[in-house]
């Protein structure tokens, strides 16, 4: 059974390869959804898949890639969409 979470990552998370690293990690975990930069300097993601893998990516978001400095991650539940890939959107 799939679940889907919406996450907003605050801190120094733009300009450090955050979206690309998050996509790599999501694909490695077999997840679908998206990640994108927000105009307020945060990174936003929706992550869909099995609960254990979604939790692992949410944990990863709290650290991010080298160069990132995550201050806060807010997570909310959303309904699964049945996505077929994990992509970077604008």
Tell me how far the alpha carbon of residue 14 is from its chain's centroid. Answer: 13
Question: Hey, what are 35's tokens?
Answer: 């990640």
Decide if 19 is catalytic: yes
Question: Hey, what are 74's tokens?
Answer: 């807010």
Catalytic one of 19, 36, 38, 56: 19
Decide if 37 is catalytic: yes
4/16 Cα distance (integer angstroms): 25
Catalytic one of 37, 38, 56, 87: 37
User: CB neighbours (10 Å) of residue 62?
Assistant: 13
**Catalytic machinery residues:** 19, 37
């Amino acid at each position: 059974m799939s679940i889907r979470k919406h996450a907003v990552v605050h801190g120094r998370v733009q300009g450090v390869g955050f979206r690309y690293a998050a996509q790599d990690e999501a694909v490695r975990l077999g997840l679908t959804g998206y990640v994108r930069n927000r105009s307020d300097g945060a990174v936003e993601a929706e992550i869909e898949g099995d609960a254990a893998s979604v939790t692992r990516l949410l944990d990863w978001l709290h650290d991010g890639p080298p160069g990132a400095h995550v201050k806060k991650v807010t997570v909310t539940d959303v309904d699964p969409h049945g996505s077929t890939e994990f992509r970077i959107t604008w």
